[in-house]
Structure 1
């Protein structure tokens, strides 16, 4: 049976999520009618919470889910932690990423896993979220956070997705793919084939790690897509690849939640 409410019938609001290091501002959106819905934890790209991301979360809510989008950089202040243009072109993208790089480095794997626990505890207590397992999805740097959350909290995460992720299977001793052996969720990844942050050798390494660990997974390479292909307020947006991502993500959620 479809979980979808009437088109556009969603209710979004700003919320505050307590963590061990402070309070994370976040966006919560859910169907406007009915009872609690299965929960999805949504990790943004480096540009963070902004109108285009809220629109993505609302689309998930319209499909029948309660969606939490935390500002993962809350230690630096409320979102956005850097002033963003309405449209992020290639020139502004580079400037913004250089400004955000120190903030991204501050979110260490240990802090990310600690925060994941706080977000999941908040969802467990949220009246609009159904009890039971949750799903996680992430974009760009958020794809790594999705993988880390699935590995750090296997008892809570039934599905984990990531799209145009970077450095998912690097040579670093804390690379996200090294958590594959702890994952019990079904996993879905959509990679951009024109993405220098995830070269073919890392795609193969991630696939091998998931396979060797016996993780149910589907990893696809989107031909012709670049890093950031789901982000409609950036020059990297690719409508065809974005719609393919929606089909993959919603299919995963329907199976797992």
Structure 2
């Protein structure tokens, strides 16, 4: 049975922030960090964390807006403007430091077997990419990363050569926030990597978010999730 709680993470600069934690029915499990959309750690992110825990993963979802508004949370499209405002205030360098602190916390948890992956959505899709490129604890970065429709990745492709782990991307072909040429740029940047895969779906932005009815695409979300779980199983359970 899955249990949930909040963990306290100590940031590199001494602050403390919350991370939603979902724990599987296991004494030792691989870990996964989930990175939020612009809506914060809401029902959708908590639900995804619980689904991952049910699949046998120890999960942490760090509050990436804690320096702006701790526990900020919005439910759906009605909170879009509030979320965008928080993103505009987000310091990505500090966010990267907080992600690394979360990775260190995860690896130190007794229930974590040492292997850690990451999954991110929207804003979190870009944060997952940064996680793969930049986060290292004692020289060891994540073991596998999945990025869902990260709109900022096109501007971060100079970091691609720093990614040392297998990485999987999900994009919607009808995404109004990510032009086709941006997806093509990611495909081209990853073309020479046997451990990188880019999937496209006949869907729009945030197609995995069941809490945002105008965006959610159940069929695409199901296929992408099955691929995500298989990818994590392949690289975190080997």
What's the TM-score, normalizing by structure 2? 0.91
* Separation of aligned partners in 2, 1:111 and 1:178: 19
- Hey, what does 1:176 align to over in structure 2? 156
Asked if 1:156 is matched to 2:135, the reply is no
Superposition misfits of 4+ residues, deviation over 3 angstroms:
none
| Unpaired stretches in structure 2, ≥5 consecutive residues | none
- Alignment match, 2:218: 239
SS at match of 2:29: coil
- For residues 95 and 189 of structure 2, the distance between their equivalents in structure 1, rounded to whole angstroms, comes to 21
Whole-Å separation in 2 of the counterparts to 1:45 and 1:106 = 15
**Conserved 8 A contact 1:185-1:215:** no
TM-score computed with the length of structure 1 as normaliser: 0.85
Which among 64, 85, 89 is matched to residue 102 of structure 1?
85
Aligned to 1:146, which of 119, 128, 132?
A: 128
Q: In structure 2, what is the Cα distance between the partners aligned to 1:103 and 1:24?
A: 16
Shift of 1:117: 1.1
For residues 43-99 of structure 1, what are the alpha-carbon distances to aligned partners after superposition, in whole Å with 9 as ceiling and x for unaligned? Answer: 0100011222211111100111001001100102321x25x35xx24xx2xxx3322
Decide whether the 8 Å contact of 1:139 with 1:164 is kept in 2.
yes
Asked whether the equivalents of residues 176 and 204 of structure 2 are also in contact (C-alpha less than 8 Å), the reply is no
Work out whether residues 168 and 198 of structure 1, in 8 Å CA contact, stay in contact via their aligned partners in 2: no
Which aligned pairs between 1:86-235 and structure 2 lie closer than 5 A? Answer: 88-89=76-77, 92=78, 96-131=79-114, 133-153=115-135, 155-169=140-154, 175-212=155-192, 214=193, 216-223=195-202, 225-235=203-213
Query: What is the Cα-based RMSD across aligned positions, in Å?
Result: 1.6
Is the 1:178–1:209 contact (alpha carbons within 8 Å) kept by the matching residues of 2? no
Find the residue that maps to 1:157 and give its secondary structure: coil
For 2:47 and 2:185, the matched residues in 1 are separated by 33
- Give me the whole-angstrom Cα distance separating, in 2, the residues matched to 1:118 and 1:147: 16
Equivalent pair of 1:183/1:215 in contact (CA under 8 Å): no
Aligned partner of 1:76 in structure 2 is 68
Is the partner of 1:201 in helix, strand or coil?
helix
CA 215–158 in structure 1, closer or farther in 2 if over 3 Å, else same: farther
1:211 Cα deviation (Å)?
Answer: 2.4
Number of residue pairs the alignment of both structures matches: 231
Displacement of 1:219 in angstroms is 0.3
User: Which residue does the alignment assign to 1:6?
Assistant: none
Aligned to 1:5: none
SS at 2:51 equivalent:
helix
Say whether the 8 Å CA contact 1:43–1:145 is kept in structure 2: yes
Q: Contact 2:190 / 2:197 at 8 angstroms: preserved in 1?
A: no
Partners of 2:208 and 2:123 in 1: how far apart?
13
In the alignment, which residue of structure 1 is the partner of 2:234?
255
